[in-house]
C-alpha cells in the first residue's frame, strides 16, 4: 500500500493540494492535521484538491474534504476538486459531495472561477 503523497502550493489566498497515491483511513488524520496547519498559517480562504494522481480513496478521504469544507466555508471561502478520476468521481457523486464542493477540469479553471 503506498502512502498518499501531499504536495501543495499557494496562489494568493488559495491553497492547491495535489494528492498522489491512496487516501484512506491510515493517512487521513495526518493529512487533516497538515492541511489545517497550512490553512491557518497561510491564512487560506479557498482550497483546491487536485485528484489527478490519486489511485484510491475511501470514506475517510471524503471526511478529509468535508472537514476542510466546513472550516473554509466558515471563513467565507470555497473548496473545489479538479482532475477527478472516474472511480473517485462516482464515489463523490454517490456521497453527494458535489452539492457542497465545486468540480472543475483543471487548476487554472478552478482558480479563475473561485
- Residue-wise pLDDT for 94-108, tens only, equals 999 999 999 999 999
Give the distance from CA 24 to its chain's centroid: 13
- The radius of gyration of the chain from alpha carbons, rounded to an integer in Å, stands at 13
pLDDT(2) > 90: no
Give the distance from CA 5 to its chain's centroid: 13
Mean pLDDT, the chain, integer: 95
- Predicted TM-score (pTM) of the model is 0.94
pLDDT(4) > 90: no
Q: What is the set of domains in the chain, with CATH numbers?
A: 5-113 (3.30.750.24)
Amino acid at each position: 500500500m503506498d502512502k498518499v503523497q501531499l504536495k501543495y502550493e499557494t496562489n494568493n489566498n488559495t491553497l492547491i493540494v495535489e494528492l498522489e497515491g491512496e487516501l484512506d483511513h491510515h493517512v487521513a488524520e495526518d493529512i487533516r492535521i497538515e492541511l489545517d496547519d497550512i490553512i491557518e498559517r497561510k491564512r487560506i480562504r479557498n482550497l483546491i484538491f487536485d485528484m489527478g494522481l490519486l489511485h484510491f480513496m475511501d470514506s475517510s478521504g471524503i471526511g478529509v474534504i468535508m472537514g476542510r469544507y466546513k472550516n473554509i466555508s466558515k471563513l467565507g471561502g470555497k473548496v473545489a476538486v479538479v482532475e477527478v478520476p472516474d472511480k473517485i468521481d462516482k464515489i463523490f457523486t454517490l456521497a453527494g459531495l458535489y452539492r457542497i464542493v465545486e468540480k472543475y477540469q483543471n487548476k487554472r479553471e478552478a482558480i479563475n472561477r473561485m
